Amino acid sequence: MRESLRTQLWPLPAAGVVLAVIAGVALPELDKSIGSGTGEVAAYLFGGGAAAARTVLEAIAASLISVTALTFSLTVVALQLASSQYSPRLLRTFSADRNVQVTLALFLATFTYALTVLRTVRTAEEGQRPFVPQASVTVAFVLALASVLALVLFLSHLALELRVETLITRVHHDAEQTVARVFRGHPRAEAGEDDIPEPPLHAVPLLAARSGFLDRVHERALLEAAVEADGVVIVDRFPGSSLIAGTPIGRVWRRDGTPFDRDRKEQFLHDAARAVSTARERTDQQDIAFALRQLTDVAVRALSPGINDPTTAVHALSHSSALLCDLAGRPLGPRLLYDDEHRLRAVLNRPRLSDLLDLAVHQPLRYGAAEPEVLARLLRLLQELAWTVRPEHHALLDGYHREMRTLIGRHAFPATERRRLDALGDELTRMIAPA
């Protein structure tokens, strides 16, 4: 729920409207209780009559609703541009932008506050005792000035946000937070193939409770369910995978190898399925590959014939390389959960380095095979990884190098470009050659 609220435009503006209504009701009552301002304080409060107060409040309300409509229109245009020019998966970056949310909240709150205070202004012509809430009108005036400043800052911020460099940098920043969150508090080595148990023949399929994208696995709830049933569970889908309700996403079995009785099996399956949360779209809660997916989308879209912007593709690949080098030093692969007696209870599937490298390299290599700058950046990406990964991963890098050499040989590049690519390839060969 917290992640859903963070990435939507309405929560902060809605909260601003509610607070504005409360302030618009409470401040005029305060004005009634303290009366007209006197002394030095009066010099800073609104000094006009009831007619002037109404004019000011009406002007603020009318202008702010127009400015809000303009701001919303500009935000929609920015969302459309990001979706068509870069990637639909970057829309979360815009909707989660606090600057946009706060600006809309301020505009709507000022509009609502001005209308709420306007209802309390009384003139002698209405047959009632004249009343001008001086402090309340002054607050409305201050909010209007703040809204004007916010509009200027919003336009400047929007112009900055539409730059592809800013978008890519934000994706990278979000990815760093995801990596820190996923691997925080779990000092462990990578799980080897021998550490992952093979499900027995009588293992029961674990079915997805809801359709959607695997958002996160609640490790504590899953571990408690496995301990309660004295069982073992394997979730074989990556975070971010598409799940279909009623289809298998893993397997469960008893730790001692005997079959479950019916009641315990049903309870275990129910608790384990509830520990797997789904969302309507991919999120970065536990999905360390999501940022690479976004960066790859930007690179591939930039290489499309309609855009033809290899510089942006190279820029996106630079961020992909930085993320891969960071992740290469992390304990990638399946995550193993043990109980208090160090007995294996759950295996959660996580991407390995090969999965992440496939995601970052394959599509840019396919669509940028005829662009020397893209090929050169991919070769440097492999070089940068060669400095970071352990020697046992050099064979993986060598496989990509062989594929790239084959693609380079199929194209008639200018002699200078071919010499540059050959030099980068020779340097990579020396880096990953067996000692």
Q: What element of type H or E holds 234? A: strand 231-235
pLDDT digits (tens, 9 = 90+) for 181-214: 999 865 455 565 567 888 988 899 999 999 999 9
Closest CA to 91 of 176, 155, 214, 8: 8
Mean pLDDT for 395-415 is 93
pLDDT above 90 covers a percentage of the chain that reads 68
Please give the Cα distance from 251 to 238 (Å, whole number). 14
- Which residues are CB-neighbours of 284 under 8 A, at least 6 positions away? 174, 175, 177, 178, 290, 291
Range in 123-127, 173-177, 320-324 with the lowest mean pLDDT: 123-127
pLDDT above 70: residue 301: yes
pLDDT of residue 187: 47
Give me the pLDDT at residue 264, please: 87
Is 70 exceeded by the pLDDT of residue 126?
Answer: no
Q: How far apart are CA 401 and CA 434, in angstroms?
A: 15
pTM for the model stands at 0.85
Q: What is the mean pLDDT of residues 334-340?
A: 93
Q: Residues of 241-275 as b/e, b for ≥16 C-beta within 10 angstroms?
A: bebeeeeebbbbbbbeeeebeeeebeebbebbbeb
How many Cβ atoms sit within 10 Å of the Cβ of residue 429?
13
Measured distance CA(164)–CA(162) in Å, rounded: 6
Residue 81 clears pLDDT 80, i.e. is over it: no
pLDDT tens column, 17-70:
999 999 999 999 988 887 655 556 666 788 788 889 999 999 999 999 999 998
Residue 432: closest CA among 395, 384, 406: 395
Residue 136, pLDDT > 80, answer: yes
Query: Is the model's pLDDT at 351 over the cut of 90?
Result: yes
Determine the pLDDT at residue 246. Answer: 95
- Please enumerate in sequence order all residues whose Cβ is within 8 A of that of 186, keeping only pairs 6 or more positions apart, or say none: 331, 335
Beta-carbon count within 10 A of 398 CB: 17
Q: Tokens 């304990």 correspond to what residue?
A: 331
Cβ neighbors of 282 (< 8 A, separation 6 or more) are 89, 213, 240, 290, 293
Is the pLDDT score of 145 beyond 50? yes
Please give the Cα distance from 107 to 65 (Å, whole number): 7
The DSSP secondary-structure symbol of 85 reads I
Report the pLDDT averaged over residues 275-300: 93
Of 120-124, 263-267, 338-342, 380-384, which has the strongest mean pLDDT?
380-384
pLDDT reported for residue 435: 59
Strand arrangement of the beta sheet that strand 204-207 belongs to: 204-207, 248-254, 231-235, 344-348, 335-338
DSSP 280: S
